[in-house]
């Protein structure tokens, strides 16, 4: 019995670990390729090798073993008292380091990536803060206030959540043109601020806040705004965290709408910038993967730091009350 249990456990872990490797491999591949040696001068054969395009593919940055190889040679040369030779190997070590990071160097020196990074970051932050404020206000009154038209407004909002976003692409494009917002960040920010998922989420969460707390504040003579700001917002913190993270993620990763309205390299967001990089430098995978790494790292950090809010957000939508 113990043995059977152990073997079924072993199978479980094997399947899960293999699948986890499959799922993380592409992401790992981004970083490996970004840091891969693109030009290595092999002294024994006299050939110049690129490990970025090698067959079979190299599963880790080759700069690491090569660096230590040269380091060993330099140490041996020093031990033998051959200063010039040791110096030669040390130079090669520096070249390996330089080549390893050359993708990032080219990226930062030769493209607008800082600009794109900054654009993405500030747009995502502005939209996230705006959504948090507007959706909390809307969700709060939809859950806690009784007023004519409340149900109609709520169901109208829910109904539009089912409509695929592509249907509004053309009208939004025309509208943005008419409002003279083409090729501005407003064209991204305003439609993003109108997303309604958060209203739904905040309203669902507000329903669980005891109404007595809010009424008590009203009886104490607090104004509507003060009640909202001092009582409701603090109580809604967990939902705010979830909504904030999902909004940030969806704005940071959004792609289809930005490639339609942005036509100026200074205004690009990261995903749009990456696409133009791919269009221009079809062959330079090291550079492309460096760009991908720059775009991926912030989301990876956000995910690791706020994992539990991600999970809570997903389960809020899926499990019935």
Partner 1 sequence: MKASNGLLKEMWKQRAAYLFLLPKLILFVLFILIPVFWAFLIAFQEYGYSGSEWVGFKNFMTTFTSSTFHVALLNTLKYTVFTVPVTIFLALGLATLIYPLGKWSQSFFRGAFYLPTVTSMVIIAMVWRWVYNYRFGLFNYFLDFLGIPPQDWLNQSDTALWALIIMSVLIPPGVGVIMYLAAMGSIPETLYESAKIDGANAFQRWWRITVPLLKPTTLYLMMLSLIGSFQVFIQVILMTGGGPGDATETIVHLIYKTAFRDLEFGLASAQAVVLFIITLIFGVVQYRIMYRKGEE
Select 83 or 311, whichever has its Cβ closest to partner 1: 311
Select 88 or 298, whichever has its Cβ closest to partner 1: 298
Instruction: Please provide the size of the chain in residues.
Output: 321
Q: Is 25 in the site for partner 1 (CB under 8 A)?
A: yes
- Report the nearest approach of partner 1 to the CB of residue 122 (Å): 17
d(CA 250, CA 269): 13
- Report the nearest approach of partner 1 to the CB of residue 228 (Å): 7
Both tokens assigned to 67: 């660096």
HSE-CB of 299 using CA atoms within 13 angstroms = 21
Q: What angle do CA 174, 176, 180 make, to 5 degrees?
A: 115
Quick one: which of 138, 214, 243, 262 contacts partner 1 (CB under 8 A)?
Answer: 138
- Report the nearest approach of partner 1 to the CB of residue 64 (Å): 19
Interacting stretch for partner 1, rule CB under 8 A, among 65-73, 74-82, 98-106, 192-200? 192-200
Binders of partner 1 in range 249-308 (CB under 8 A): 249, 252-253, 255-256, 260, 270-271, 274-275, 278, 285, 288-289, 292, 295-296, 299-300, 302-304, 307
Residue 204: which H helix or E strand, with range? helix 197-207
Build a one-symbol-per-residue string for 92-131: x at contacts with partner 1 by CB under 8 A, - elsewhere.
Answer: ----------------------------------------
- Report the nearest approach of partner 1 to the CB of residue 193 (Å): 5
- Report the nearest approach of partner 1 to the CB of residue 114 (Å): 18
Select 30 or 95, whichever has its Cβ closest to partner 1: 30
Quick one: which of 44, 45, 47, 166 contacts partner 1 (CB under 8 A)?
Answer: 166
Instruction: Say what the alpha-carbon torsion angle 37, 39, 41, 47 is, to the nearest 10 degrees.
Output: 120
- Residue carrying the six token digits 């390893």: 100
Q: How far is CA 2 from CA 5, 13, 34, 67, in A?
A: 5, 16, 46, 48
Which DSSP string corresponds to 235-304? HTHHHHHHHHHHHHHHHHH--HHHHHH---TTT--HHHHHHHHHHH-TT-HHHHHHHHHHHHHHHHHHHH
Binders of partner 1 in range 38-57 (CB under 8 A): 52-57
Binders of partner 1 in range 213-232 (CB under 8 A): 224, 228
Q: Is 141 in the site for partner 1 (CB under 8 A)?
A: yes
Helices (H), 39-112: 63-79, 83-100, 102-110
Select 89 or 273, whichever has its Cβ closest to partner 1: 273
Task: Tell me the sheet residues that pair with 94.
Answer: none
């Amino acid at each position: 019995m113990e043995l059977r249990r152990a073997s079924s456990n072993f199978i479980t872990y094997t399947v899960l670990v293999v699948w986890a490797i499959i799922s993380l491999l592409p992401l790992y591949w981004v970083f490996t390729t970004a840091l891969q040696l693109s030009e290595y001068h092999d002294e024994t054969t006299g050939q110049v090798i690129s490990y970025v395009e090698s067959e079979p593919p190299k599963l880790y940055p080759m700069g690491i073993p090569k660096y230590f190889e040269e380091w060993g040679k330099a140490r041996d040369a020093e031990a033998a008292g051959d200063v010039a030779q040791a110096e030669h190997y040390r130079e090669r070590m520096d070249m390996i380091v330089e080549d390893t990071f050359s993708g990032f160097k080219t990226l930062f020196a030769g493209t607008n990536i800082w600009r794109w990074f900054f654009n993405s970051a500030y747009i995502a932050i502005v939209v996230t803060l705006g959504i948090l404020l507007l959706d909390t206000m809307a969700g709060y009154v939809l859950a806690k206030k009784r007023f004519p038209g409340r149900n109609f407004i709520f169901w109208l909002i829910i109904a539009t959540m089912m409509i695929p976003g592509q249907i509004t692409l053309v009208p939004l494009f025309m509208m943005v043109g008419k409002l003279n917002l083409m090729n501005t960040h407003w064209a991204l920010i305003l439609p993003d601020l109108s997303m309604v998922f958060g209203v739904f989420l905040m309203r669902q969460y507000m329903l669980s806040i005891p109404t007595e707390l809010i009424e008590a504040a009203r009886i104490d003579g607090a104004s509507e705004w003060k009640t909202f700001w001092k009582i409701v917002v603090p109580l809604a913190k967990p939902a705010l965290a979830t909504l904030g993270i999902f909004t940030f993620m969806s704005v940071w990763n959004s792609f289809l709408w930005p490639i339609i309205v942005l036509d100026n390299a200074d205004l690009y967001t990261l995903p749009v910038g990456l696409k133009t990089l791919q269009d221009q430098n079809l062959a330079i995978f090291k550079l492309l993967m460096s760009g991908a790494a720059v775009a991926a790292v912030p989301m990876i950090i956000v995910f690791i730091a706020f994992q539990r809010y991600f999970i809570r957000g997903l389960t809020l939508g899926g499990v019935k009350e």
